[in-house]
Amino acid sequence: DLSFPPAVLHPLPAALYLPNKFLFTLITVITQSNNMAEEIKRLAPQAVWGYFYDLTQIPRPTGHTKQVTEYLKAFGAKHGLETHQDEVGNVLIRKPATPGYEGRKAVVLQAHVDMVPQKNACVAHDFLTDPIDAYIDGEWVTARDTTLGADNGMGVALAMAALTDDTLKHGPLEALFTIDEEVGMDGAVALKPGFLQGSILINGDSEEEGRLFVGCAGGVDMNISFHYRQDEPAPEGHVVLRITLTGLKGGHSGVDIHLGRANANKLLFRFLKQAVSHCGLRLATVEGGSLRNAIPREAVAVVTVPADRVADVEKLISEHQALYRSEYKGIEGEISFTAERIADVPASLVPEEIQDDLINAIEGCQNGVISMLHDFPGTVESSSNLAKVKTEAGGRIDIKILVRSSSESRREALYSSLESIFSLAGAKVEYFNPYGGWQPNIDSPILRTMESTYESLFGRKPEVTVMHAGLECGIIQEAYPDMDMISFGPDIKHPHSPDEAVGIASVEKTWRLLKATLEAIPEK
């Protein structure tokens, strides 16, 4: 509010006045932000978009979901709905059946509350404190230089809208909001039998309108580490360079893995192998990628090079930039591969034998699509994502790989293959957070209900398929083996990357399908 009473309009010290240009910019930004919030909230269906916008204003990266779960508990209390929270932090809200629908099967609407925190290097955004700057871009809602959080904020918003819409006709309804799905599916893993009462689960974490998902891949995290003594100084006469690879699209390592996008770690180490061999380059530090389930978009290495070979390294970088742009033309944008001289000399280099073993192992590491499903053409069966490579204090290099597969035997075979590569290189290999896949049930009653409902609404049959990305359905089914499950959602492109966007028209269709499905749920 920029209207001040006369009493406060007294002279201030000159140093406290804001420059007119800055003040105008500040007012413009605030005004545009408020206008955009109102524009998003006016989109149809307004309840869904209103709740979704509220979620964009709540910081909720994985591991930091207390604020959003408190918001959901307050939401339940405000609307007089039975609300519970389990020991790990999952929130459950129940809504009684519409009069006359008490005999229908009880339905659980399920979504996860956390989001993937990814941003472009050009923006100073703190995911622990800053709201998402969401805006409308044509037929999509997206965010400025960060992930949007439609994965899975849109699923949460759909469930919230169902809980508060008194025009809906439905049987007993539950909404389960799980925590920390994006890293270890911790909320789903900790879910105990008896917490839920429903016999049907509708998961809202899918990202293609017009497709119904009845299965998903399982996965396992590989944690790999090289250890060494930090007692090797940079050689005399070496120049220190920071080598930076940026401009890649990245994306979801399950949903987008089939697109053939570049992996920043693979590209960087492909260059390092040649630079070590031809230019005498030595590695000091490296940091590529950030999250296990995001395709790495950026990678940085600090290296030393003999002073008389700097020009050769710079030429090699320029050649690799041109090569990468050519190889990924039409897949990636403008890949940037640069080197800059820095003054700070590293205290220690990675020992030469460890450096060579690391580079060779990364070069040999399988990455991307490994096998495809025969029963669902065009769907990935197995994949590997070389998600993160980073030097840590104390003489350690950590590597994280996420292995996914719809086949348990193929997942084990892929894991074993990767383990062999890094073990031969002298690294320590461990695995964590294994989770099983969700096996398809083509005879699912809720599938038949949603298929017929979709066709009656939109005049065509939906596609029924399985997802290569992990969903919580398979894990929840371990605690509730008799629960009938399906997954659906609006169009969300490029989740787990700053290009994430949700299709406006697809949200309206998804909401219509959810309402009609709830009304069509059969008697117990």
Instruction: Write down the catalytic residue from 54, 114, 256, 499.
Output: 114
| Separation between Cα atoms, residue 233 and residue 459, nearest integer Å | 70
| Separation between Cα atoms, residue 492 and residue 471, nearest integer Å | 15
Which one, of 123, 125, 152, lies nearest residue 52 by Cα? 152
| Separation between Cα atoms, residue 79 and residue 76, nearest integer Å | 5
Both structure tokens of 250:
């990245």
Which one, of 490, 491, 504, 496, lies nearest residue 148 by Cα? 496
Which one, of 273, 268, 280, 284, lies nearest residue 307 by Cα? 280
Torsion, CA 246, CA 249, CA 250, CA 252, rounded to 10: 160
Both structure tokens of 122:
């050009």
Which one, of 518, 522, 524, lies nearest residue 163 by Cα? 518
Q: How many CB atoms lie within 10 A of CB 215?
A: 24
Known active-site residue 181: yes
| Separation between Cα atoms, residue 72 and residue 76, nearest integer Å | 6
Cβ partners under 8 Å of residue 416, min gap 6 = none
| Separation between Cα atoms, residue 313 and residue 399, nearest integer Å | 25
- Check if the beta carbon of residue 216 is closer than 8 Å to that of residue 469: yes
Report the first-to-last Cα separation within the chain, whole angstroms: 56
Q: How many CB atoms lie within 10 A of CB 264?
A: 25
Signed CA dihedral, 420, 424, 425, 430: sign only:
positive
Assign 3-class secondary structure to 428-445: EEEEEEEECCECCCCCCH
Q: How many CB atoms lie within 10 A of CB 67?
A: 12
| Separation between Cα atoms, residue 43 and residue 505, nearest integer Å | 9
Beta pairing, strands 200-203 & 484-487? parallel
- Check if the beta carbon of residue 265 is closer than 8 Å to that of residue 250: no
H/E segment holding residue 406: none
Both structure tokens of 110:
């399920």
- Check if the beta carbon of residue 245 is closer than 8 Å to that of residue 300: yes
Instruction: Write down the catalytic residue from 54, 133, 180, 181.
Output: 181
* Residue showing tokens 């997954």: 487
Known active-site residue 499: no
Q: Which residues, listed in sequence order, are joined to residue 283 by a DSSP beta bridge?
A: 303
Catalytically annotated residues: 114, 181
